[in-house]
Structure 1
Amino acid sequence: MADIHIEEFYKDAAIALAQLYNAFPRRVNLFVEDIAGPDETDEFGLHSKRHMACFGALLWLAEEGFLRYVDTIRQEALDQAVLTQEAFTRLSSPAPDALVEALRGPETTTPPSLPPSLLEDLSSHIHLVRTALKSRDSARIGHAVRATLFTDDKAPAR
């Protein structure tokens, strides 16, 4: 089992990438609370460790070339965030068949008579990320995010 903060990073990254993919090519504000849940600041106005970890994950995605943004809104959000071309291409591309089979849950069945274009959509990285998020299974989410972010063949450039 991975450390809890790594599992939370994978979940935060998956949610952020899915939100940005759903809005692409529009620029949107990416709010930490929409990803990590509500947060109460302490008596000094500081956010929780969980909130700051999510904010850090968003900044890391930007630093590693997966998204761009215009500015931060305090430590609450990224202003006018959008996927980079490389990230959009990666999320849209088909995942290897072995990965699709490995991440396929018991609730997922693919009728053999589907058109090739639909089969390709169902095997895309974004579909794997969305399916993993719906399953709420930390291991599946982690596997889908690692396969999307850390595969060498089309990883975003810095």
Structure 2
Amino acid sequence: MADIHVEEFYKDVAIALAQLYAAFPRRISLFVEDIAGPDDPDDFGLHSKRHMACFGALLWLSEEGFLRYVDTIRQEALDQAVLSRSAFTRLSAPAPQTLTEKFGPNPSDSELPTSVERDRSTYIHLLRTALKSGSSNQISLIVQATFFLDRDIQTVH
């Protein structure tokens, strides 16, 4: 089992990327509270560790070239955020068959039009499906497969 902060990181990344993809190519304000949930700053106005971890994940996505933004809104949001070309291309790409068979459309959906089947085999669809499932393990595996794994996808369990 991964450390809880790593599982939260993968979930934050998945939610942020799904929000940005849904708005693409528009620039949006990406609010931490929309991703990590409400935060109650302490008496000194400092945010919780959870809030700051999510904000850090958003900044990390930018530093690693997955998104661009114009400015921060304090530690509340990234203003005018948009997916980078490489992130958009990757999310739109078809995932390997081994991954879609494990986490993708149901085999009973084989009667669907080709265009729908193609859309349901993309990384963004798998990411959204993982988020809907609520499974930390599934979210982690899909985020890793989408952006971080350079090895053969068949090694993903």
- For residue 19 of structure 1, what is the aligned residue in structure 2? 19
Aligned length: 151
Q: Which has the higher contact order (CA 8 A, sep 6+)?
A: 1
Segments of structure 1 that go 5 or more residues without pairing to the other structure are: 154-158
User: Are residue 149 (structure 1) and residue 142 (structure 2) matched?
Assistant: no
How much identity, in percent, do the aligned residues show? Answer: 70
- Equivalent residues of 2:104, 2:120 under 8 A apart: no
Segments of structure 2 that go 5 or more residues without pairing to the other structure are: 152-157
- Equivalent residues of 2:104, 2:121 under 8 A apart: no
| Aligned AA (1:51) | H
TM-score by length of structure 2 reads 0.92
- For residue 156 of structure 1, what is the aligned residue in structure 2? none
SS in 2 for 1:46: coil
TM-score by length of structure 1 reads 0.91
> Relative to 1, partners in 2 of residues 1:140 and 1:87: Cα closer, same or farther, differing over 3 Å?
same
How far the C-alpha of 1:127 sits from its partner, in A, is 0.2
List aligned pairs for 1:110-149, cutoff 5 A.
110-149=108-147
How far the C-alpha of 1:109 sits from its partner, in A, is 4.6
Q: Distance in 2 between matches of 1:74 and 1:119?
A: 42
How far the C-alpha of 1:111 sits from its partner, in A, is 1.8
Q: Distance in 2 between matches of 1:94 and 1:82?
A: 21
For residues 114-141 of structure 1, what are the alpha-carbon distances to aligned partners after superposition, in whole Å with 9 as ceiling and x for unaligned?
A: 2222111101000000000000000000
- For residue 78 of structure 2, what is the aligned residue in structure 1? 78
| Aligned AA (1:54) | C
The CA RMSD over aligned residues, in Å, is 1.5
- For residue 29 of structure 1, what is the aligned residue in structure 2? 29
- Equivalent residues of 2:36, 2:54 under 8 A apart: yes
> Relative to 1, partners in 2 of residues 1:147 and 1:110: Cα closer, same or farther, differing over 3 Å?
farther
